[in-house]
Structure 1
Amino acid sequence: MQDRRRFVRNSIGAVTGSVASLAWLPKLAADDVAVAPEHVRFHDDIEPLVRLLEDTPRRQIVDQVFGEIRHGRSYQELLAALFLAGIRNVQPRPAVGFKFHSVLVVYSAHQASLAAVDQHRWTPLLWSIDYFKRAQQSDVREGDWTMAAAPSSNLPDPQKALRSLDDALTRWDVEAADAAATTVARTASAAQILDLLSKHAARDYRSIGHKSIYLANAFRTLGVIGWQHAEPVVRSLCYAILNHTGDPNPATSDLEVDRVGRSNWKLADQFSAGWLSSERKSIESATVAKELRTSSPEQASEFVLQLIQSGCHPDSVYDGIMVAAAEMVSRQAAIVPLHAVTTSNAMRFLYRTAHDDRTRKWLLLQNAAFIPHFRRSAEDRGKLNDTDLLQLSPSEDDSTDLDSVFDLVRKDRPEAARAVLKLASQPQVTHRLIGQARELVFLKGNDAHDYKFSSAALEDYQQIAPIWRARYLAGCSYLLHGRSERTTDLAERVLQFG
């Protein structure tokens, strides 16, 4: 059997290939995919397909997957194999980002596939598989990490496993967390696991929100591929959550990235008893968005607490957070503001999905606090312009239509935003606008952030109050794709395959 590491090394730098070149590849059977005993192995029904993705050189992977599809391999099977291959082969170190985007992007790509027209249905998945091969090559260059097999000794009693995992994560103890996560994944409910991991994934600003993104997207991916795959995913999540590369143990330190996460637990306990009983009001959302332009993380949390205590609905707060994130994108169309949007999307999912009320209150405060964190990080990279999304005026050009909007995107971003604001204020046009925005991601996107951002932004568009939707989309338009950009080679191949 070919050695996987040699296979990957030999494929570095190669991108394209042909179906004819695949004739020599052996068929993989269950007996042919033995995994080293020190490495994690998945269920027998998915392990051969995972190994196929791992072992096929990048220059041949798309054609090999085309062959699998022609022979009846299901979308769900390929999605599961892709997600698990990333978990086993790509280390979330030194940050939960960079090459680990091959894992983080899987659910975003799935969202894009769900919303695609038939001719583009396979493009996001096939793009993600190719992207995994790129990440796998990077991981080989950085040491060729592979996820270890689940621990078999020193596992906590199932009745105490959740408490043991909470304690290990609090102490930032990787070994103890892995043992507890193994038992928790085998015995606890999805709701129990999400509640527990939420309060650890969202506690610190390391990796600019990717820990929350990973947790939200991993749980949603499990909902698609099946909870029989939960054990390696939960173990991987805990390993990622405990990443503090470059910092001393946060449990025994007082670092800025951890500070507001700790203080917000005290604020969460000050919420009024009827914190969910008020009505959504747009003026409250505008107030939040304005406050987040200048406040510190601690001030943002205190401000949200005051609003909640005065009767503000938490969804009004969240609308303000989302508008603030989109406005930041319009002020600096770059990587940090992009993550203000994708992290807020993830945290809002955790807030809406968690069962524990105290955790939900804390997540709301944390999300508000993260916006100033992002703003400061963006300012460290360059000056933010003075765009005021709340005061943005729609285009006055009578010729503005869908074609002209996507001709402007990435050429004249301010004018494109005004054009989007005009068109998105017309409900009968909005669905076509969003459809074209997605299609251009399929055709032009060549980075994980293209899928992560567009899927998050277009999902959140539906979640915020109608009064804010057009402005939110206008702000996000700064990072959408335009018609003049080059169509990727992979998109061309997928269209030919279809």
Structure 2
Amino acid sequence: MITRRRVLAASALAPWALWAKPAVALAANSELASLLVNTPRESLLDALAMRIRAGLKPQRLLGALAVATCREVSPYPNVGFKYHAVMMLRSVEQSMVAMSKERAWLPLLWTADYFKAASAQQDRIEPWSLRPLPEGPRSIDMSEPGALVDALVSWDAERADVATAAMVAAGQTRAALQTLMLHASRDFRAIGHKPIAAANAHRLVWGLGEPVAAPLARSLSLAVQNAEGDTDPARRAHSADRDWHANQAIAAKLPPDWQDGSDNIAAARTLLQELRTATSEQAAGAAAQLLADRVSAHTVWEAVMMFAAELILRRNSIVALHASTTANAMHYCYLAADDDRAKRLQLLQAVAFMVRFRSMVERDPRTRDRRIDAIDPAHAVDVDDIFQTLGRSRVNAVRQALGWLEAGGDAAVLGARARWYATLKNRGTHDIKFTEAMLENHGWLRLPWRDALLAASLMYANSNDDRDDDVVLRAQTLLGA
């Protein structure tokens, strides 16, 4: 049985470190958040290193980063780019808690430095801060859940912001995040960044507590309402919203016991093939039929995750990697959903979104016809051999990784190297985010092909030969790590 404890534990490749247990009730830390905001970028690492030597704990810095990024970096004009300063925080936490105590500060300090870069980019576009909300009586009690739903359905960003803040203030953070998680998955704008932001916010609030709830929930509300220039999506039909409307009807027809099916690898392969050729509506319909035929929802999710990994195997690109990070986020939102309708829609939307990603990837003439279930394994001596090959040929490294895993190699060892290089040799915000998503996806899979997904993740991993990141090297020097 899948439990909330398992949802929060992530995967076997990313265990909570005993020394970094999540603080359930962090005290509000406006002083540390102010330090992050007001300290010049060139001085920030030194200032934080001084605090660390004086006893600063990782979770406290993570909480301050959550507050500072949400207050200073807007999810407009795009839910992406600079907004990764917010969206990557949970992935950074996953890296932090899986690393040794000596290394665990490094992804956090890299992220603190990136926050300064994102904040500077925000100032160049348009100076912005999360606005204080006006006080005073309102004609409607905005803390009622219906007020937030109405604002989201009408795509009224200001009303949604007020309603979200009112719900958090009234002690209804859980209900607010449930509503926002579902609506984050309603449209295919921003190549999956909305559900990624939703999963990030929910997981951080769960781990860090109410002191970070208001900025994270309000920032997420603004992100969910970003229509990216589409006019009046509440009343006009846009391509990005098509699956949401189609899947309402498909979801309503699922039998009451749709979650009671059994795992079925043949059915997973059938859906995988459907995802390669079908339209988004056809693929969602095929998934619904499998569920009606007593195939487990977990099997459908396995096909989604494997197909997402196949896309990065076919074309190593930013678009393709977002298929896997989106599948990871929507799977989390599905598991964390409180009601049956939300679970139905999260699953069907994830299936449909994979077809959307496929269409985008296939527009690139460099996309190859590679299949996740047809990787030809190759011999590798050890993990060093694999990551050395990676610098010369990503495809050959994938083949070696699969061969090594099938010969009894430890997935945790391969995952730990990929995770460490995602920080040490960081090329940007996607390195940590993608690596953690793939490690977690691998941990959720049960069918025999799970190692093919982990092997395929090397298409976007860093190799032995990639240069070490300057910020990480400086942080190591400051901390003596």
> TM-score higher than 0.5 here?
yes
Return the letter of the residue paired with 1:460: N
Aligned residue number for residue 176 of structure 1: 159
Aligned residue number for residue 229 of structure 1: 212
Return the letter of the residue paired with 1:185: V
Distance 1:190 1:424 in 2: 42
Among 232, 253, 259, the alignment partner of 1:249 is 232
Q: By how many angstroms is 1:314 displaced?
A: 0.6
Aligned residue number for residue 163 of structure 1: 146
Q: Deviations over 1:149-178 (max 9, x none)?
A: 023245475586200100010000122212
Return the letter of the residue paired with 2:272: A
1:82-481 map, 5 Å: 82-153=65-136, 155=138, 161-395=144-378, 397=379, 399-427=380-408, 429-481=410-462
C-alpha contact 1:191 1:355 (8 A) present in aligned 2 = no
Among 51, 55, 62, the alignment partner of 2:34 is 51
Distance 2:137 2:446 in 1: 49
C-alpha contact 1:325 1:340 (8 A) present in aligned 2 = yes
SS in structure 2 opposite 1:100?
helix
Larger Rg: 1
C-alpha contact 2:168 2:214 (8 A) present in aligned 1 = yes
C-alpha contact 2:306 2:453 (8 A) present in aligned 1 = yes
Among 39, 42, 52, the alignment partner of 1:69 is 52
Q: Deviations over 1:343-398 (max 9, x none)?
A: 11000000001011011011100000001111112223444201111111211x3x
Q: By how many angstroms is 1:425 displaced?
A: 2.4
Q: By how many angstroms is 1:241 displaced?
A: 0.5
SS in structure 2 opposite 1:93?
coil
Question: Which segment is superposed worse, 147-156 or 280-289?
Answer: 147-156
TM-score (norm 2): 0.91
C-alpha contact 1:410 1:478 (8 A) present in aligned 2 = no
Q: Deviations over 1:210-251 (max 9, x none)?
A: 110001011111122212321222111111100012110100
Percent identical across equivalent pairs? 33
C-alpha contact 2:324 2:434 (8 A) present in aligned 1 = yes
Q: Deviations over 1:385-416 (max 9, x none)?
A: 01111111211x3x532111001124211111
Gaps of 5+ in 1: 1-42
The structure-2 alpha-carbon separation of the partners of 1:155 and 1:405, relative to structure 1 and needing over 3 Å to count, comes to farther
Distance 1:121 1:155 in 2: 46
Q: Which runs of 4+ in 1 moved over 6 A?
A: none
Distance 2:341 2:365 in 1: 37
The structure-2 alpha-carbon separation of the partners of 1:375 and 1:52, relative to structure 1 and needing over 3 Å to count, comes to same
Return the letter of the residue paired with 2:240: V
The structure-2 alpha-carbon separation of the partners of 1:145 and 1:190, relative to structure 1 and needing over 3 Å to count, comes to closer
Question: Which segment is superposed worse, 177-186 or 363-372?
Answer: 177-186
The structure-2 alpha-carbon separation of the partners of 1:44 and 1:455, relative to structure 1 and needing over 3 Å to count, comes to closer
The structure-2 alpha-carbon separation of the partners of 1:155 and 1:481, relative to structure 1 and needing over 3 Å to count, comes to farther
Q: By how many angstroms is 1:312 displaced?
A: 1.1
Return the letter of the residue paired with 1:285: A
Q: By how many angstroms is 1:427 displaced?
A: 4.9
Distance 2:148 2:91 in 1: 28
Distance 1:382 1:49 in 2: 48
Return the letter of the residue paired with 2:457: C
Distance 2:102 2:401 in 1: 26
Return the letter of the residue paired with 2:444: Q
Return the letter of the residue paired with 1:489: D
Paired positions, count: 454
Q: By how many angstroms is 1:198 displaced?
A: 2.1
TM-score (norm 1): 0.88
C-alpha contact 1:222 1:230 (8 A) present in aligned 2 = yes
Among 72, 76, 80, the alignment partner of 2:63 is 80
Return the letter of the residue paired with 2:388: D
The structure-2 alpha-carbon separation of the partners of 1:451 and 1:212, relative to structure 1 and needing over 3 Å to count, comes to same
SS in structure 1 opposite 2:263?
coil
Distance 1:156 1:462 in 2: 48
Q: By how many angstroms is 1:460 displaced?
A: 1.0
C-alpha contact 1:191 1:354 (8 A) present in aligned 2 = no
Distance 2:365 2:141 in 1: 50
Question: Which segment is superposed worse, 82-91 or 382-391?
Answer: 382-391
Distance 1:194 1:91 in 2: 19
Return the letter of the residue paired with 2:402: L
Distance 2:128 2:238 in 1: 29
Q: Deviations over 1:432-466 (max 9, x none)?
A: 11111111112101311001100111111100115
Distance 2:101 2:74 in 1: 34
SS in structure 1 opposite 2:268?
helix
Return the letter of the residue paired with 1:355: D
Q: By how many angstroms is 1:142 displaced?
A: 0.6
1:32-43 map, 5 Å: none
Distance 2:416 2:158 in 1: 46
Distance 2:82 2:460 in 1: 21
Return the letter of the residue paired with 2:63: A
Distance 1:130 1:67 in 2: 15
C-alpha contact 1:209 1:339 (8 A) present in aligned 2 = yes
Q: By how many angstroms is 1:44 displaced?
A: 8.5
C-alpha contact 2:142 2:167 (8 A) present in aligned 1 = no
SS in structure 2 opposite 1:384?
coil
Aligned residue number for residue 31 of structure 1: none
Q: Deviations over 1:75-112 (max 9, x none)?
A: 11111111111111111111110000011111111100
SS in structure 1 opposite 2:276?
coil
Q: By how many angstroms is 1:265 displaced?
A: 1.2
**Greater relative CO, 1 or 2 (CA 8 Å, sep 6+):** 2
The structure-2 alpha-carbon separation of the partners of 1:154 and 1:262, relative to structure 1 and needing over 3 Å to count, comes to farther
Return the letter of the residue paired with 2:375: L
C-alpha contact 1:155 1:183 (8 A) present in aligned 2 = no
